[in-house]
Structure formats: structure tokens, C-alpha cells
């Protein structure tokens, strides 16, 4: 079974701007894959206010920096394997998914550091053993953590849908960035 398909199915909701559908899908799928009520409660009880505030403050700053550099895109990257470290990259280039070239996301001219999410990284390490979409248990955990991260960022980013820049998100080394504002 290709557990990564659960992420791809979730991602479609984000791309369509259906954040409620994304949340419902991730929760139902994670529960179907065996996510325990105990662990779900632990995840839901993590205080995300500092992470959210950091992102909400960083996006307008990123837009201003993008204007200065005449950039085309803002890319939010979070590193699942390294304390959920999170950055906004100001990218000088951009390609649509149809172009089939994601190199644009590595051509950044500036970056803005947001706070890390140590609690998520700790859960991924201890509960999922840092396994990446390899079985029911780790997929359930990773899907809900990614969902909560992507939805939180998308809510903040969609406030700037008319900013003139593409806004995307991806976990570190994600093959194709998830488009939020295109």
C-alpha cells in the first residue's frame, strides 16, 4: 500500500481552499488508520499560539521583502526531521505544477525564520519513530501533524490572497510544493 497517497488526497483539499474538508479528511483518515484517542488528545492539546503568531507576523514581512527583491513566490518550509524548524523563503522564480519544475523553490533570495514546533517533532520522533508514510501508525500520526501545520499556515496565507505573490507550503524535501495562493 502506498501510504503517501493519503497525503496527496489531503493536499487536494488544501489546494482547493477547503480547509474544513482537509481537517475532516485528516482526522477521519488518521482515526481509520488507528490513531488513538489518547494521542489525538495530546496533539490537540499542544499550544500552537506562538507558532501561529510567528507565522502571522512573518507573512506580511515576507511580502514586503518579496516586493524589495521583485520576487515571484513565498514558500513556507518546515523540517519534520529537525525540530519542525520553519522558514519562509522568498523565491525569485516560480513555476506552476503543470510546468513540472519545482527548482524554483530552491532559488530563494531571502528567508525569514519562524519558530520551531518542538512538540510536533517530539511526537514524530517518539510516537512514529520518524517513519515517513510507511505503515498505518506512523501515517496516522504524520498526516494529522502535517494537516494541522498546513491548515494553520493556509488560514494565515489566505488573508493575503491578493498580495501579488504565489504562496506555497511544503515539508522539507517535499517533491511538489502545495499551492495555497496561486
State pLDDT tens for residues 69-91. 999 999 999 999 999 999 999 99
| Section 141-153 average pLDDT | 97
| Section 113-131 average pLDDT | 92
Residues 6+ apart with CB under 8 A from 181: 157, 158, 160, 161, 163, 165, 166, 167, 168
pLDDT at 100 over 90: no
How much of the chain is helix, strand and coil, in % rounded to 5?
50, 15, 30
Cβ atoms of residues 89 and 182 within 8 Å: no
| Summary mean pLDDT of the chain | 95
Q: Give the rounded percent of residues in the chain with a pLDDT score beyond 90.
A: 88
pLDDT digits (tens, 9 = 90+) for 32-63: 999 999 999 999 999 999 999 999 999 999 99
Query: Using CA atoms, how far apart are residues 182 and 180, in angstroms rounded to an integer?
Result: 6
- Judge if pTM exceeds 0.85: yes
The predicted structure's pLDDT at residue 1: 63
Question: pLDDT category, 131, cuts 50, 70, 90?
Answer: confident
The predicted structure's pLDDT at residue 33: 96
The predicted structure's pLDDT at residue 133: 85
| Section 97-105 average pLDDT | 91
Amino acid at each position: 500500500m502506498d501510504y503517501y497517497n493519503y497525503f496527496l488526497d489531503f493536499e487536494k483539499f488544501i489546494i482547493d481552499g477547503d480547509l474544513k474538508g482537509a481537517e475532516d479528511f485528516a482526522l477521519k483518515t488518521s482515526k481509520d488508520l488507528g490513531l488513538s484517542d489518547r494521542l489525538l488528545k495530546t496533539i490537540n492539546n499542544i499550544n500552537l499560539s506562538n507558532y501561529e503568531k510567528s507565522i502571522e507576523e512573518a507573512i506580511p514581512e515576507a511580502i514586503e521583502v518579496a516586493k524589495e527583491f521583485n520576487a515571484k513566490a513565498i514558500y513556507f518550509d518546515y523540517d519534520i526531521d529537525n525540530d519542525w524548524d520553519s522558514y519562509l523563503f522568498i523565491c525569485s522564480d516560480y513555476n506552476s505544477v503543470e510546468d513540472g519544475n519545482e527548482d524554483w523553490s530552491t532559488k530563494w533570495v531571502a528567508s525569514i525564520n519562524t519558530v520551531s514546533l518542538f512538540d510536533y517533532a517530539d511526537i514524530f520522533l517518539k510516537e512514529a519513530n520518524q517513519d515517513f508514510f510507511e505503515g498505518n501508525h506512523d501515517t496516522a500520526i504524520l498526516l494529522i501533524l502535517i494537516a494541522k501545520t498546513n491548515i494553520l499556515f493556509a488560514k494565515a496565507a489566505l488573508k493575503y490572497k491578493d498580495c501579488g505573490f504565489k504562496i506555497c507550503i511544503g515539508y522539507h524535501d517535499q517533491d511538489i510544493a502545495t499551492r495555497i495562493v496561486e
